[in-house]
Amino acid sequence: MTAKQNTDLGRDSVGKLLFKLAVPAIAAQIINMLYNIVDRMYIGHIPDIGPAALTGVGVTFPIIMIIAAFSSLIGMGGAPRASICMGRQDNDGAEHILGNCFTVLLGISVVLTAVFLIFGKPLLMMFGASESTLPYASAYMNIYVCGTIFVQLALGLNAFISSQGFATTSMMTVVIGAVINIVLDPIFIFVFGMGVQGAALATILSQAVSSIWVLWFLFGKKTKLRIQKKYMIPRKHIILPVLALGVSPFIMQSTESLVNITLNASLQTYGGDIAVGAMAILASMMQVVLLPLMGLTQGAQPIIGYNYGAGQPGRVKKAFKLLLISSLCFTGILWAVAMVFPELFILIFTEDASLTSYTIWAIRIYLGASFILGAQVACQQTFIAVGQAKSSLFLALLRKIVLLIPLIFILPCFLSDKVFAVFLAEPIADIIATAATCILFGLQFKRILKGCAEKEAALPSN
């Protein structure tokens, strides 16, 4: 079936479209979340070495996030622009963007693999590894980075599948890899006795299968946008706008890595390995909040981007309102669960009594304001969907670079409990950044809708 037959982004009911596109995208992100945390679930239960191995693998989280961030730089920068082109009935332009992005993703993979293999150990020490956890961190990282090309292609190109309205196919990209990873993890870790190396190997093999699935679809006949050889040579006028739009989601993810590095280093100084181990679990908990939320916004982005390009401001406004309400409901429910029953999540990763007790205390601080993140993400991702690169970039920088990282260093200077101060930086940054995001969005959204209406007036009548 073609995307037109499958989903009409310009005519179908906005509510039905959001449900149709968001449910598979959310499911994909939930499965992707399992993809990311299932290694830690198994590693934390390895006899004798579980807590130390879990802490070591947690230290590799910044590297994993940096690799994923580069896939977002290209995928989340290119796919919304392709959606806007499709809304203007310019499929050749959309395919040109796709072909250029494919080539750039390949180039990025080579560079990242070389950098992390050469400088991996010094980086891990900088990220908070200790002498006792470095062997586990290094063993995991050395294997994981060899699969960088699979991560780039699977994540970066999958955005172009969902941008066409093929939400189920996009979901299957993640489902296939996650199922393979979940099956292979216990086999490699426990049956073959490979430990953290087995977890990393299972992950890159599953990512390889996911990338093959994506390429099979985008080179095939069922897709509306196809990777074509004639469009693979990178062109400045194609790539620069992609990078300008993609830099916001890139910063969102890469600064998550930088934040994790800063947190690990500060917590190692003030609280030692147990604080860093708690942070490994908290990072996974934050993924439970953010990844499904990103799936929801991914379902809304093709609707918003297509109708913005097609000059239909009413549908853009309605899609945003539904996105905002849904996002706030989602983060509100997860916040309530985290505050009331934090141990339900922690026990997935560890049965160590001291680490469990420590992390319960930390979760209630670190995620204290997470219920408002739905508003921030909905507004920021809508800016991306309509091609507002500068506003989205500013908001991406605000929460983490301008607010959170400085607060991690500043608050311990004023509070006697240094570890509490480090964890407190997150909710304070969330509150300030969300307020600023909502104000900026409120000021600019009317102008965006007005520009969309002008496009509608300029379009020829059918």
Residue closest to 382 by CA, chosen among 218, 193, 245, 212: 245
DSSP character for 232?
-
The Cα 338–Cα 363 span in angstroms is: 7
The Cα 72–Cα 75 span in angstroms is: 5
Length of the chain: 462
The burial of 228, by beta-carbon neighbours within 10 Å (0-12 exposed, 13-18 middle, 19 or more buried), is given as: middle
- 380 found inside a domain: yes
Per-residue pLDDT of the chain (462 residues; tens, 9 = 90+): 333 445 677 778 888 888 888 887 777 677 766 766 677 778 877 877 877 888 788 788 888 888 988 998 999 899 989 988 888 889 899 999 999 999 999 999 999 999 999 998 998 988 778 788 889 999 999 999 999 999 999 989 998 998 887 878 888 888 898 889 889 989 998 899 898 899 999 999 999 999 999 999 999 888 989 999 999 999 999 999 999 888 877 877 777 778 878 888 899 889 988 998 888 888 878 877 777 888 888 788 888 888 888 888 888 889 999 999 999 999 999 899 889 988 887 887 777 888 889 999 999 999 999 999 999 989 988 888 887 877 877 887 888 889 999 999 999 999 999 999 999 999 999 999 999 999 999 888 888 888 777 765 555 554
Say which amino acid occupies 77: G
Q: How many domains does the chain have?
A: 1
- 410 found inside a domain: yes
- pLDDT value for 415: 94
Give 189's contacts (C-beta < 8 A, 6+ positions apart): 42, 43, 46, 195, 196, 198, 199, 202
Give 125's contacts (C-beta < 8 A, 6+ positions apart): 134
DSSP character for 193?
-
Residue entry with tokens 């290694």: 39
The Cα 170–Cα 163 span in angstroms is: 9
Decide if 80 contacts 245 (C-beta within 8 A).
yes
The burial of 229, by beta-carbon neighbours within 10 Å (0-12 exposed, 13-18 middle, 19 or more buried), is given as: exposed
What is the full DSSP assignment across 350-371? ---HHHHHHHHHHHHHHTTTGG
- 4 found inside a domain: no
pTM: 0.70
Written as six digits, the tokens of 17 are 């479209």
- 7 found inside a domain: no
Decide if 86 contacts 306 (C-beta within 8 A).
yes
Written as six digits, the tokens of 376 are 């921030």
- 360 found inside a domain: yes
Question: Using DSSP, how many helices (H) and how many strands (E) does the chain show?
Answer: 18, 0
Q: How far apart are the first and last CA of the chain?
A: 25
The domain of 206 spans 13-455
- Beta carbons within 10 angstroms of residue 132's beta carbon: 12
Determine phi and psi for 132, rounding to 5 degrees.
-80, -25
- 1 found inside a domain: no
- pLDDT value for 7: 61
Decide if 154 contacts 214 (C-beta within 8 A).
yes
Written as six digits, the tokens of 441 are 């969005």
The Cα 194–Cα 400 span in angstroms is: 36
The Cα 393–Cα 196 span in angstroms is: 36
Say which amino acid occupies 116: F
- 460 found inside a domain: no
> b/e string for 45-64 if b means 16 or more Cβ within 10 A?
bbeeebbbbbbbbbbbbbbb
Decide if 21 contacts 302 (C-beta within 8 A).
yes
- 6 found inside a domain: no
The Cα 418–Cα 311 span in angstroms is: 52
Decide if 239 contacts 231 (C-beta within 8 A).
no
The burial of 428, by beta-carbon neighbours within 10 Å (0-12 exposed, 13-18 middle, 19 or more buried), is given as: middle
